[in-house]
Structure formats: C-alpha cells, structure tokens
Structure 1
Amino acid sequence: MASVFSTLHESLRQVLSQRLGWFELREVQERACVAISGGSDTLVIAPTAGGKSEAALIPVMDAVLKNGQPGVACLYIAPTKALINDQEERFSAFCLPTSLSVMKWHGDVPKGGRSWKGEPPHFLMITPESLEVLLQERELSQDLRQVRFVIVDELHAFVETDRGVHLRVLLDRLDELAGRKIQRIGLSATAGNPQEILSWLSDGRQGQKLVEVAPAPREKHFSFIIEPDEDLRTSALVRVVTGRKALVFVNSRSGAEHLMKALSGRVRNLHIHHSSLSPVMRRKAEEAFLSEDGACIVCTSTLELGIDIGDLDVVVQVGPPDTVSSFLQRMGRSGRRGRPAFVVFVLETPCQLLCSCAIIECAIDRRVENLHPPEQPYNVLLQQLFLALQKGRTGWGTLMKTLLARPAFSGIRPTELERLIRHLVDEGFIATDGEMLMPGTEAERVLGRSNWKDLYSVIAGGGEYRAMTPEGEAVGKLDARFVNSHSDGDVTLGGQIWSMVKCDEGHNIVVVVPSVAGGARTFWRGSGEAGFSGLICERAGAIRKERTTRLPLGDPERAILHNALQTIPKEVDGSGLFVRERKRAGRRIVEVYSFHGSRFNRVLALLLVHCLGEKSRVSSGDFLLRVSGAGKQDTIARVIAALEAVRALSPGEIAEILPAPQRDAWKFAGLLSDHLFRKTVLPDYYHITEFKQRLAGMAVTALPPSAPEPGTGE
C-alpha cells in the first residue's frame, strides 16, 4: 500500500526503504497511520510479530519530524524493563538515522543514565513506576509538558491489575502537566473486548479508533504427549527439545524450577527464565537464546511478552495454559519469518488433553478472554492520596475533589473516600490542622523511608527476600514463607542448588552459597496454578456436547479424548449447572458439573458451604464440585435449594460471606481496617460482579442417578 507511505516525511521514507527495504506498509500500519494522524486515541490489536510496534512508531515519528518542537515528544510505556531493553534497539534503528533521539529510563539503568542535560530525548522509554519517579522531579518533569503521544505496549498486561489503574492516573496527570489532551496509543496482541479496553484507555476524552487486524492464515503444527508418569513425561520432553531451539513454558515459577532440575544434564545449553530471577540471570538466558548455537529455555509468562527471541524451532507447553490469551502469546513465539508454528503439549491426564483442545478451538474461532479492570482500586487510591499529602499540606475538600476527579476512581463514592480518610486520621496516618491534612507520624514511619520512595510503585514486594551471595551478587528472590520455613535448608533457584546460610529479616535479605545437596522444592506465594478460564471451560463443555473435537487428532489422542468425554454424563454441556447424586465409599456425594471456570467454581463452593451449613464439605475443580455432608435424605433437593439461595445473594452479602485473602498481595493494605480491607478488596479479588452475572441466567438441572460415573474431570 503506497497511499500512506508516499505521504511520510522524506527522511522516514529513506529509513524505511534504504535501511529496512520497505516500500509499502502492512495493513495494520496503514490503518494505524490514518487513525493516529487524525488525532484519535487508538488501540491497535494485531497478532504477535504482526508489526504493531511499527504501526505506532511510524505515524508518531512522521508527526514529530514534520512538526518538530523541544521537549519529550513521545513516551513509550511498557510493563517490563526487559521489553524496554529489547525495543530500544528497534526504536533506535528507526529514529537515530533521522536525528531523533531515544532514551530508556527504568530501575536497571544506572542512576547517571536516568537524566539528561540540555536537550531531552524525543522518545523516552519508561515503566509506570519510573514515570512516577520522573513526575516527582521538578526540573526534568517540565520537559514532559511538550509530550504529544503516549504509546502503551502490551496494554492487556496492565488492564486487570493495580498497575493498570496507576497507569491511568499517570496519563491523567500528564494531561494536567501538558495542559491538553495527550494522544494515547495502545498496543496489544489479544483482547476479548477491545472496544471496552479502548474506552478504558481513552476515558472518553476525545475521538477514539480501534485498529484490529486478523492474523493472516498460516500453517500451524500441534503435537500432544499424554503421559501420567513424570519420569516418562520428562524423557519425552527431552526427545522433543534435543537439537532444537526451544521455549518450554510452564505455568508457575516453582514448576519451572522443578522441571529445570529434572532436565539438568539431559539437555544441552539449558537455561531458566522467570520473574524471581535476577536481571543478570534473565539476560544471560535471553543472550544464549539469540546466539548461533541457540538454547532451550524453561520459562513462565515472562517470555510471553513482545521480547524478540528470534527464530526458534518449537514451543513446548507443559500442561495447558490457564487462558487462551496466554496460549496465543506463547504460540506467537514460534512460526516467525515464514516458518510454520510448531507447538508441543506435554500433558499428564486426558482432562488436560480436553482443555488443550478447547484452547486451540477458541484460538481458531478468535475467541479470547474479556479483560475486566478493577472496580474498587483502593490500593492505588491510597498511593495517590499519600503522594499528594507528602508534597505539602492539603485541604480536605481539595484532596477529595482531586482524587474523585480521576476516572480510574469513578467506582468509589465520596462517602467511602471520606470514611477512609477519617480512618487514616484515627490511626495516625494523617494529621489534621483544622481542614488541612498532612502525613501523620504513622505514615512517616511506614511510608516515609528513603524520601517516600515506597509510594512510587503499587507492586507488593514485602513478601519476598532477596537472595544474595556473600560477594553481593544477586541471585533472585524467594518467598518469605518459604525462607521462614526452610531457613537453614537448601533451595533451588535459577536451576542451581543453594544453601541458605544467613537471613537478615531487617533488610529482607537471605545469604546463599552453592550446595551439592538435593535442594528443596521452592515455592512462591501465588505461584500455583490458578485453573482454567471460563472461556476454556465453556468450550470444553461444548466439546463434550459435540462428543468430539474439530482438531485433526491422531488415533491414539482421539481415543484418549473419547474416553475422557465418556466419563462426563451425556446430558452435561457448558451452559448451566448439572447436579447428580452417587455413592462413594459408602457415602452420599452430590456432584455439580460446572463448566464456567475454576475461579467461578471456587467462589460457588465457598458460598455453597455457607448455604448448606457447617457440616457440609465442598471441593471444587475446573469442571466439577463435590458436596458431602449435605444430609442423608433429599440431598439433591437440598443442594439445588442451596444453589438457588446462592443465586439470591446480593453482592454485599457475598462479600460478607467470602473469606478475606492474605493482605500482603496489596502493598498498602496494612493501612486499612479489617472492615475496610474486606469491603475494598473482595469485589475485585473474587470478581463478584462477574460471578453474579454468570450465575443469574444459569439453569440448574438434576441428572438421573443412572448417568455414567464421572472420572477425573476436575
């Protein structure tokens, strides 16, 4: 397409044609140029390696070259430092030949490199946390007054988190600093509800455009290994990756360490990559992968995002991923530069095969999970409240007006904010002088260390220890609970075995030295499998209803899938709740088939226990809830009545029943009373609104006792 290409600034056209060999733009780039040059806030949805970065960079560069002015012209915001490091080379290849400057600013950049003298860069690449730091710099922040564009990469990684709320607040503050509406551009490979996410990004400030380009049809190869024995499964995995450049995805950090230990000595040039390893260790793995010899990396979602890891031969998925979105990101690592994508699933059970088929079918149908931003983001509200107070005395009314004006806090009522402030005053976190508010002694003690730097991020980090060698070399991070329970034992971290020899609780440091012992199985809080999304489970229910999959499985895999489907009663599909009674070990067990997602089933199980009474016991899995202790007579009727009672509960009643999660997942939760913590955290933690909406229209069906006995579909 030459229509847009011919209108680009001459120096940009020269870079594209002479250095990159481009004489036309891809469809996504052409359409993005039209939307962005028209001044609209824009969300670009395109598959991994589909040219999204250039789709944003080209029109922004064109505008900057044609309308040059001092100050930072564009902020590029990414969720990880590694992605910024990777994209810096790409941005520089485009920008530097046109005399546009590029700078990165994040925590791994030496302090001397996080500043500028004289002219600021045209493009500043930064994380939300470092942008918060920069906005506190009185002189440097003034150079952001000229920002005209903000590019947010991997937008889907922000939307459902407190970091996403923080990002939205930062974008509002940039508008205020500039005195105008800065154009916002989001980039994402996946989103089930892109129009809603665009509205979330734009906040209705000005025109908005969605640029969504379907992936081009290309050849994809899938292979399945189903083996219940762990040793045999590991041997099969070794055969798959031997002699190949491979990424092996697992669903947790502890799972990655366990698999790394099992593969050590059996796979050449083996590395590991996850979020609790030091930046040096992660970079070592990335560099090994980009070398001529290649490598095999055992990794978690840290290598899902847009880091360019070059050509690879195979993506291995150990166990199905939790979401279709993750699968698409991981599959997108393979099949680049004209080669077919090749994904091997290494599975333990027939149920995992069913879920893997459901994931691939959703991907074929271009169905991806919807993203749901937090409704009650009190963690970020507390951060912004104290950031405002630490700058100086602030009037009560002014503070409330400023905070409630943020679209990110639109779900918080004035009375709730007033109640929160009064609680903080009572607890000594806020001091008063008439109508004026200022940080109290407790805030100074808890938050005021190192010039209030804890307020620059909403990421909770208090539950981890830094693992350091005696020489001061960083190895990674360990869960505090693990350290406290194994304080004089061994640990596996980064694929190596270490002995913990000293623990400094005051500075959250544990000193480690190499060991030759067996090593404990390391765990991290929240690193267990979350279970499958509702979208995956609903598709699995549909496969049961259709009695087969659309995928061209081999005969052995098709037989395994057929046997798995036969264990589920024939009346069950993905549309409602199906209840049946059976005897198990002489006891009456009521089983509730629910293909609505693991999180939905966990919430339903907790509420069922409440409605059935303390003597009942309810366990939940991906597809099935098991109820015991529901009585000896009319148990089916009692369970169905309890399900109807759950359906009748209000969101407030549900929040009162569900147990509160551990506070340390929220950085500023310690400032809240138990009542405020429950009220503010539970709606988003359990996704109560979504749960109510799903349950509202579900039919509850009693199955005949003669239905086939279920197997392990949980």
Structure 2
Amino acid sequence: MVSDRELVRSLGPVGRAFFGRFHALREVQRHAIEPIFSGKNVLLSSATASGKTEAVFAPLVARIRAQAPSSGEEILVLAVAPTRALVNDLHARLQGPLSEIGWSCGRQTSDHQDKVRRPHVLITTPESFDSMLVRDSKWEHGALAGHLLANVEALFIDEAHLFESSPRGDQLVWLFGRLRRLREHALRQEGISFEEVQVCAASATVSNPEGLARRLLGEGGRAVLVPGSREIEILSTGAATDWVPLEGLADPEAIYANLLLADGPDDMDSIVRHVWRAIERGSVTDCRKVLVFVPSRALCDRLSLALFDTFTSRRELFVGAHHGSLERAMREDAEQEFSRSRDAVLVATTTLEVGIDIGDVDVVAVVGAPPDTSSLLQRIGRSGRRSGHVRVVPIVRGPIEGRALCSMLDAACRGSLDPAPQARLWSVFVQQAASHIAQARKRGRRRTDLIGLAQAVWPEQGGPMTAQQILDALVERGELTESRGRLFLGEEWSDRFERAGGDFHHNFEAGGQGIPVVDASTGEVITHVSQPPAEGGSVALAGRRWNVVSQSGEIVVASAPAATGDATFQYAARAAPTGRSYAEHVRRGFGFGAAEAPLVSGPRGPLWFHFGGSAYDAVLRALLPGMKSVRGLFGLALSGVVTEQALRALSSDQNRLTGILRQLADDIAAPMSLGRYHDLLPEELRKTIAVDLLDPEGFAGWLASREVTISERVRPAAHRLCSALGWTENA
C-alpha cells in the first residue's frame, strides 16, 4: 500500500503546497489522488468537511504541470461552483497553495472580473461560464482566431450534488460540450491533435453517485465513494441530559419525542429560548458559535432580530442574518463578522447550506424540515468540524414538519438518502441554442452545428431528432430566425443579449429584483423586496430594526431605536411544492408503512393521506373527481372518500392513465422545476418529458399498492396523525 508520504511526493511541489502542513492525508485524499493524477474523470463523493476539494484539485493541477509547465498567461483550469459565495470561498482556499507553485487564481462572476488577467485557475459559476463562451472570442477577418478558454485542460465542479437533476446541471453538461469543441478547434488550428479535457468533481454523499458521475462527467466518468460520518447529537427536551446521541434513539418516534417545539410559525419566543438553551447549556467553552437555518427570508429577518434583542442583552456576541435577497456586501459582511467573532449567531436560509467558509460552527439549529435528507445533511454538516461531533438543535413549528424532520434525522443517522429523479431537461437546449448562436456573432449557426452538438452532449437514441423538433418550434414562434440555411437570434433573444446582463445566460426561473430598500445613513442598498410593509411601525430586516423614512421609487429606511410593531418586508417568491421525498418522510415519521395511505375521518369530513407529493396530488385530483386539495396539506392529502378497489381499477387501465398524464403534462411540470424555457418546447415533447418523469408504470404500481383501510397494526400511526390534526380518531 502506498504511504501518505509517497502519495504527496508523487505530486511534486503541488503536493507540498496543498498537503505539506498536515501530518497525514485524509481518507478521501488517499482514494482520490492516484486516479485523478492518472487522468481519469472522477466524481469524489464523501461527507461534508472531509477535504474533498483539495483531494481533487491537487492531483488535477499536478497532472497539468507534469505534462507541460505553463509558459505564459493562460487559463488552464476552470473551476465551476453553484453560487458566487462558493466561488469566493473556493478562491480563498485555493489562492494560498496555488501561489506557492507560482500559479495565479482568479474569479469571474458579476461581482469579480478577473478573466482579463488570465489566471491559471479561474473560478466561476455556470452563468458566467456561459457568458465567457459567448463573449470572449477573438475574431479576425470574420473567422474565429482564438478564445479566452481555448487552453483549458481541466474542469473542476465543486459541490456537484447541487447540480443533480436540475436545469443548471444540464446547462453545465452542454457548456462542457461546447468547451470541448472550442478546444478541438483551437488545437486543430495549431496542428496539434485533440486531447480530451479532464473533468472532475467533488460532491457530498448522494443516492446515486455513479449516475451523477455519468451525467456530469460523461460516459467515462467514474465515482469514487469514501464512506464516513461524524456522530450526530441533538439537544434533548429533558432537563437531565444536554445532548443525546442520535444513534441512541431507536426510531423516528423516539426522535420526535426529543424535538423542540414552537407554538406555530409566528412563535419567535420559543425558538429564541431553544437556541439560547444550546448556548447557555453548552457553556462558554463548548458553544461559541451557532448557525440557525430557517425556511424563508422573512423568517430570517424576524428571527435574527428577535435573537439580537434577547442575546445581546445577556451576552456580548454578534447576531446577523444571511439570505439571497440581501445585497452581496451585506452577506459578505455577515460571513466575515461571524467568522472572526469569538461568539456569534447567524440566521440563514439555504444560502449557507453549502461549503462557504465561515469558520468553526459549534451548533446548528434547524427550524423546520428541509426538502430531503441530503439538504438536512448539508445543513447540520456545518457543525462540529473542529470537534468531530455534529450538534443539532431541532426546532419544529407544527406536527407535520416535526414528523418529516424526525424521519430525516433517522435517515441521516443511518446514511439513507432519498432518490433523485433523472431526466433530460430539454428546456436547457433552448437557452444553449441561443447562446451557441450568439457565440458565432452575426454569422449565425447551421442547423447541423446545433444538432451535432446535441448528438455529442446527449448521444442517446433520438437526441438529434428532438433537437430538430425544438429548433423547428423556435423558428415557428419567432424565437429564432432562419436565413440562407443559418439560424439567428429572434428579436426577443437579441434584445436580451444586447442588454449584456446575466439574464441571457441562465436557466433558472427569473424573479424580478423588486423595489430597492436603501439605508438612509449610508445610501447603500440593503435588499430588494416585492412589496413595502404595512403603513406605520418598525420593520425587521437583516437582524436589525428599521423605520421607513420614505417610499418613492425606492424605500428609504433608518435605524429604529425601539420596536413599534416589527413588520417584515415581502419578498418575491412562489410557494414551494411538496416534493415526493418530503411527503415520504411525513408518512414515515408518523409510523406508516411504505404502502399505507390511510383514510381518516374528522369534523370536516374524510381525508385521504396519499403522501405522494405535489405532482402525484395533481394527477390524483384528475383521476378522482370530487377529491379536493386541503390547505396546509398540499401534496400530502385530499379531502373525500376513496377505496382500494377504485385505486386498483384506475391503475389497471394503463391507456387511460397515460392519457390523463399527457393531458396534465403542464400541470405536472409546475412542481418539477423543469427549467425556465420548458414552455417553449413543442407541446408533444413537453408531454413526453413530464410523463417520463412521473413514470406511468411506477405510478400505476404505487396506486395499486395503496392500503387505505386502517388495520389494527396501523391504528397507532393513525392516532398520531389524527392528534396532529387536532381530531379525535374516528376511522
């Protein structure tokens, strides 16, 4: 077996730069160095805080240096991260070791423009990657004569699990395909045979690592899995014990008994009290820093202010807020203050779920249940990187989210992850076709160029035909125009491109910035909101209290000395659908088996708990006329009566079932996040994608297996469910 010293030595100066200050390599680094240094396309999957980034990056850079040391200023490695904050974090981590080997490192986002100096390693987002492909060509006499990214030899994807089953993940795959073509063209002009670009990625633990490797890295991609986890402890509800090992709690029911309760979504006092307990019981030496995850931006504003009011009156510490609608400067200030403060509490949405370096975190408080187990692991994995113990304060505001959270915590302890749906999101091809056309400037693109790109990126049977159908539809709608056998941007896409903003280059749903909120004392924008608060009273924003000074085009606020209501701003957002994973966790948290879907009776009539999620919910309402959605239980239950015989009869008629799924294709697509341009696809293709994702055969099997009748074995779970609804069981 190769020793740590030999592995580090094999990487030469790069090994010393990345690992020289450590006494030993981590397990994940021992597994990754050899295959990546030998040129393999590797997705490295392991738990959070295991050293994945260095494990991938060091051999990737060492291999390039060993082949041909750089002789000038050229971008050799392109690193892609999901967010600008992660770009900044990756830059901070890599800049030091890279400088030791004489390599430069830069960032290219809307916040930082380092591409002009052509650093050896350039870190970016998918959208800025897209922008560079389009806007950084060199043209001479109407022909392509060079490109900023033509010399890239390796690609690195950080936090790759965040690109799984998403439009941005598929966009990355198309961008890689376009980069390969660009590099092949550049090398051919120099008379050099094409060498494949090496693509590697670092990922947290996912349910199907091999599938993610093939999807992002190509058919030659392989997954290297390094198991391992840290002990998880939760703050106990009892007075006798502070922290309880999750492994010692036998099942979700035992975990549920240890969750900390708040009296509804507006009860800030209970949440404040639970978080303070962690700090107070942890003592000054044990608990210095707490990261609190919340499900919404408005709650982030309210809770951070409530924590600030209470905590700063008891102890000297920093309390801040961090969410996506706050301006970059506000977010970075919060990150830096939390990192450098000895004692600190930071309230955040998903913006801090991934690996931004905010220093050591002693405890993570989770308010509510996240969408799935992977998301939960990301959040709680921010804790205990120094101590090796993950400490969690699990707070729920109602029994439904409590049952979901206890099931997720149990799954996290067992290392069981939720499956992610897999499908080709052809909506991404719409944006990529426009982007690839824009890259050719006024020359346009031949159809065969775009169809050939589709064949190279998604080589499965039927890909070229699908691309052809999409191009036909885009031309028919005027999104693209065609002249002399070439495709050009239509008026709307041309306008979007000429505005030179990031809107042209992204595939996620665009939300308007909204009304700017400006600090009267500095003139700086704090955030953008969709609506001002109600007239009168103070406003909670970013962990502080403000008074609205004026509202005319922008909302001007000033620091408020005292509370006079503490309203919140409204942010542009739509209600999140109930995912299949979340619904399954609610079922499991109550104690129902995989096939059990109870029909329970209450004061307002019968409710059927199918636990199928929002997409299944939409189909069931079409299949079962008279069944209605239930407020607060979307994706979990329908009002009305259903029988097992009726469900089996529906499941046996495959033709009718498939027909209904096709009719509901656009309704089904809404909760599935199929991409910003899904509506521009041909109708028949939209139906095919939605139906394939729902899987008629799998849905029919699920429908036929539902056990509606409550047996004696199921009665305890049904009793828990009725109690959660405030009902007396009568089933």
1:36-47 superposed matches below 5 A: 36-47=36-47
Matched residue, 1:381 = 429
Residue 593 in 1 paired to residue 609 in 2?
yes
Q: By how many angstroms is 1:424 displaced? A: 3.3
Moved more, 618-627 or 252-261: 618-627
1:434 positional shift: 4.2
SS of 1:592's equivalent? strand
**2:228 matched to 1:215?**
yes
**Partner Cα distance (1:165, 1:95) in 2:** 30
After superposition, where does 1:230-629 map in structure 2 within 5 Å?
230=267, 231-241=269-279, 244-268=288-312, 269-378=318-427, 380-390=428-438, 391-394=441-444, 397-408=447-458, 414=464, 416-445=466-495, 447-451=496-500, 454-465=503-514, 467-469=516-518, 473-479=524-530, 482=531, 492-496=540-544, 497=546, 499=548, 501-502=550-551, 510-514=554-558, 516=560, 518=565, 520-526=567-573, 528=575, 530-531=577-578, 533-534=580-581, 538=584, 541=587, 572-573=592-593, 575-580=594-599, 582=601, 584-585=603-604, 587=605, 589=606, 591-595=607-611, 600-613=612-625, 615-619=626-630, 621=633, 624-628=636-640
Separation in 2, partners of 1:64, 1:218: 38
Q: Work out which of the residue numbers 178, 181, 188 in structure 1 matches 2:203.
A: 188
Q: CA deviation at 1:354?
A: 3.2
1:7 Cα offset (Å):
3.5
Q: Answer yes or no: is the 8 Å Cα contact 1:160–1:373 preserved in 2.
A: yes
CA distance in 2 between counterparts of 1:651 and 1:321 reads 32
Shift of 1:304: 1.3
* Pair 1:366–1:683, CA change in 2 (3 A): farther
Q: Is the 8 A contact 1:73 1:147 kept in 2?
A: yes
Counterpart contact for 1:459–1:667, Cα < 8 Å: yes
Q: One-letter code of the match for 2:514?
A: Y
2:111 is paired with a residue of what secondary structure? coil
Paired residue type of 1:158: F
Cα offset for 1:270? 1.3
Structure 1 CA distance, aligned partners of 2:75 and 2:232?
43
Q: Which residue of 1 aligns with 2:191?
A: none
Do residues 88 (structure 1) and 91 (structure 2) align? yes
Task: Structure 2: give runs of 5+ residues left out of the alignment.
Answer: 139-144, 185-194, 237-258, 313-317, 726-731
1:682-701 equivalence runs, <5 A = 688-689=693-694, 693-697=698-702, 698-701=704-707
Distance 1:159 1:601, change over 3 A: closer
Aligned to 2:116: 115
Paired with 1:426 and 1:218, the residues of 2 have a C-alpha distance of 58
Q: Which deviates more, 682-691 or 124-133?
A: 682-691
Instruction: For 2:590 and 2:557, locate their aligned partners in 1 and report how far apart those are by CA, in whole Å.
Output: 52
Identity of aligned residues (%): 23
Q: Give 1:56 shift.
A: 0.9
Relative to the length of structure 1, the TM-score reads 0.81
CA contact (8 A) 1:78 1:127 kept: yes
Secondary structure of residue in 2 paired with 1:405: helix
Structure 1 pair 671–376 and aligned structure 2 pair: CA distance change class (3 A): closer
User: Could you tell me which amino acid in structure 2 is paired with residue 131 of structure 1?
Assistant: F
CA distance in 2, matches of 1:218, 1:495: 32
SS in 2 for 1:321: coil
Change (3 A) 1:522 1:677: farther
Instruction: Name stretches of at least 5 consecutive residues in structure 1 with no aligned partner.
Output: 505-509, 546-571
What are the Cα deviations for residues 345-391 of structure 1, in whole angstroms up to 9, with x where unaligned?
Answer: 1123344443333112211221112333542331x222122223332
* Residue identity matched to 1:197: L
Give 1:332 deviation, angstroms: 1.3
Counterpart CA distance in 1 for 2:688 and 2:567 is 36
Local SS of the residue matching 1:701:
coil
Checking the alignment, whether the CA contact within 8 Å between 1:220 and 1:340 is kept in structure 2 is yes
Q: CA deviation at 1:652?
A: 5.6
Q: Which residue of 2 aligns with 1:226?
A: 261
User: Quick check: 1:274–1:299 contact (8 Å CA) kept in 2?
Assistant: yes
In the other structure, the counterpart of 2:158 is: 153
Equivalent residue for 1:644, pick from 651, 654, 657: 651
TM-fit CA distance, 1:518: 3.5
Whole-angstrom distance in 2 between the partners of 1:276 and 1:646: 48
Q: Give the corresponding residue for 1:711.
A: 722
Shift of 1:198: 0.7
Deviation at 1:681, TM superposition (A): 5.8
Q: Among 128, 131, 148, which residue is 2:129 paired with?
A: 131
Moved more, 644-653 or 365-374: 644-653
Query: What's the CA shift string for 1:2-23, capped at 9, x where partnerless?
Result: 36435424433443565x2x24
* Distance across 1 between alignment mates of 2:111 and 2:647: 56
Aligned mates of 2:538, 2:462 — CA distance in 1: 46
The alignment yields a C-alpha RMSD, in angstroms, of: 3.6
State how far apart, in whole Å, the 2-side matches of 1:402 and 1:15 are.
Answer: 42
Report which stretch shifted further, 70-79 or 406-415: 406-415
Tell me how far apart the structure 2 counterparts of residues 363 and 527 of structure 1 sit (CA, whole Å).
28
TM-score (normalised: structure 2): 0.79
Shift of 1:325: 0.8
Deviation at 1:530, TM superposition (A): 4.5
Query: Which range moves more in the overlay, 400-409 or 142-151?
Result: 400-409
Equivalent-residue separation in structure 2 for 1:103 and 1:319 (angstroms): 38
Shift of residue 279 of structure 1? 0.7
Contact 1:289–1:296 (CA<8 Å) still a contact in 2? Answer: yes
Q: Which residue in 1 is equivalent to 2:169? A: 164
Give the total of aligned pairs: 651
1:69 corresponds in structure 2 to 70
Aligned to 2:35: 35
Alignment CA distance shift 1:301-1:680 (3 Å): farther
Letter in 2 for 1:592: W
1:552 matched to which residue of 2? none
- Could you tell which deviates more after superposition, 219-228 or 319-328? 219-228
Going from structure 1 to structure 2, the CA distance change for 1:601 and 1:440 (only over 3 Å counts) comes to: closer
SS at match of 1:212: strand
**SS of residue paired to 2:556:** strand
Deviations 1:54-99 (A, max 9, x none): 1012212322332313432211111111112122222122111121
Contact residue 367 and residue 394 of structure 2 kept, 8 A: yes
Residue 664 (structure 2) aligned to one of 652, 657, 681: 657
The AA in structure 1 aligned to 2:526 is V
* 1:225 CA drift (Å): 1.5
1:611, 1:418 → 2: CA distance? 34
The residue type paired with residue 228 of structure 1 is: D
Of the structure 1 ranges 130-139 and 152-161, higher mean CA displacement relative to structure 2 is found in 130-139
Shift of 1:283: 0.8
Q: Give the alignment partner of residue 199 of structure 1, picking from 209, 214, 218.
A: 214
After superposition, give the CA deviation of every residue in 1:599-629 in whole Å (9 maximum; x if it has no partner).
Answer: x33233322322232x44243838842323x
Task: Work out the CA distance in 2 between the residues paired with 1:429 and 1:487.
Answer: 44
Residue 248 of structure 1 and its aligned partner are, at CA, apart by: 0.5
The AA in structure 1 aligned to 2:137 is: R
Contact 1:316 1:346 in 2 (8 A): yes
Offset of 1:458 from its aligned partner?
A: 2.4
- d(CA) in 2 for partners of 1:38, 1:92: 24
